[in-house]
Structure 1
Amino acid sequence: MATASVPSGARVSAAVRAVDSGESAGYGDAAFDTASIVKVDILATLLLQAQDADRQLTPAERSYATKMIENSDNASATALWHTIGRADGLDAANKRFGLTATSGGDGELWGLTQTTAADQLVLLQQVFGTGSRLSTASRSYVQGLMKSVEADQRWGVSAVADGNSWALKNGWLARSTTGLWDVNSIGRVTVDGTGYLVAVLSKGTESQAEGIALVEAAAKAAVSAFTDA
């Protein structure tokens, strides 16, 4: 099994699930800031609420969703954060999705939502798996956006994928209190013909580039628990 070298002062947690077998493995159970990976959760919540109301997303909501996932646009995320009812709406949906260790950020601070790698696997299972609270159409919609992130955001869990066989959302945030970085990546990848759901969370790196390198190494290490067996 491959290992990832963690820079001094940094922390990382990873979780991986083989799609077909359902087998999973993980490293670390601490809570981390989501940064922009919460945008997948915001969209999943919006879609669940729309299903409950038996309605389609409005053109404005679809526009916000596209920019929020493909471009990681923060203003779009804030708009949809309000639409879903901010943390209360997110937390209510997550309870139905089966997340047990995720709590929405205070007020406008959706990027400081707290989560664990294991909980992000649960969310990914709702987006990519069967037995989801989300309809087939809702799942396909989120998957399509996660396959279309802009070119400079195609890093993270995609580093372990065969070619372009990935769908992902990344998050990155320099904390104003310390100047250190949160860098996270979640998604679905195909490796040697097998599908995996992968979530990697990190904090405490001195730069975004160092965080990306750590997340990619951790993703490779996590998947190697299966591929090196």
Structure 2
Amino acid sequence: MSSRPSRTARTQAGALVAAAAALLSTGLLHPPPAAAATAPSAASVTSPSSGKAPAHATAAVLDLDATGSTPVIHGVDRAYDTASIVKVDILAALLLQAQDAGRHLSARERDLAEPMIRRSDNTAADTLWRQIGRAPGLAAANKRLGLSSTTGGPGGKWGLTRTTAGDQIRLLRAVFDSGGAAHAGSGGLDAQSRTYVRTLMSHVAPEQTWGVSAIGAPGSGKALKNGWLQRSTTGRWDVNSVGQVTAEGHRYLVAVLTDGSASMNDGVSLVERTARSAVA
């Protein structure tokens, strides 16, 4: 990365700063992620620049090609803000509602769902959050998908949904595992719905492919969704990454949730190092 930004980069940065000012009042700030540096291996780290309270991380890992069905948890499986990883859950709820109605997603719904996952588009998420019925709609879907520790954000603040790494593995299993029976009003995602979510998560924008993608060899199968959120009350960052990765011939579901990082860079670094350590 060049140490001197180009004129285009400076112009884009100025636009992002203006947009961030508007988003701060909602508690949902989503600037573009910067390149990650190497993070400490511990689940809790103190930022050398701040000397304040430590950041925290929890990872959950499930080997889909092993015999066990219980994820391995690294750290305390407590609740964290989801930030934009909740967009996978929003899409799952939308698909379940469509399944119950016996229909496919409409063209308009696809036009919202695809940028919501691939580019982490917040405006699309706002619309689909309202369409699924906000937190109650999310809760109804999660009950069917087996999530037990996820609480939807208040009002329109879907990014303040609270979840655990263990629950995120349950959601990932609903997408990437073979799935159970899917019936109108009951059961999980059907095969077509699972394929749709997997495809979108496999084609996120290049600048958003950090996170659990740090696991495995370059070019190996990876599908993910990341989330990043600067809390307006503290200035600290929630940075998360969930998805499926392939390493040494095994398919892993990985969820890494963090909070309290002093910067976006620190959060990305913590996520990637925690993911590598958890799978290793």
1:1-229 pair list within 5 angstroms = 4-5=41-42, 6-8=44-46, 9-23=54-68, 24-27=71-74, 28-132=76-180, 133-164=188-219, 165-224=221-280
CA drift at 1:131: 2.5
Unaligned stretches of 5+ in structure 2? Answer: 1-39, 47-53, 181-187
If you compute each CA radius of gyration, which structure gives the higher value, 1 or 2? 2
Could you list the per-position Cα deviations for residues 127-161 of structure 1 after superposition, in whole angstroms to 9, with x for gaps in the alignment?
Answer: 00023411111000000000000010000000002
CA drift at 1:163: 1.9
> In structure 2, the residue corresponding to 1:216 is in which secondary structure?
helix
Asked if the contact 2:179/2:190 (under 8 Å) is kept, the reply is no
Runs of 4+ in structure 1 deviating by more than 6 angstroms, as ranges, are none
> In structure 1, the residue corresponding to 2:45 is in which secondary structure?
coil
CA drift at 1:162: 2.4
**Quick one: which amino acid aligns to residue 162 of structure 2?**
Q
**Quick one: which amino acid aligns to residue 51 of structure 1?**
Q
Aligned length: 222
Residues 55 and 78 of structure 1: CA distance in aligned 2, closer, same or farther (over 3 Å): same
> In structure 1, the residue corresponding to 2:241 is in which secondary structure?
strand
Q: Distance in 1 between matches of 2:255 and 2:126?
A: 23
Q: Distance in 2 between matches of 1:97 and 1:84?
A: 15
Percent of aligned pairs with the same residue?
Answer: 55
Q: Distance in 1 between matches of 2:229 and 2:244?
A: 22
Q: Distance in 1 between matches of 2:107 and 2:265?
A: 36
> In structure 2, the residue corresponding to 1:88 is in which secondary structure?
helix
Q: Distance in 2 between matches of 1:90 and 1:76?
A: 16
Unaligned stretches of 5+ in structure 1? Answer: 225-229
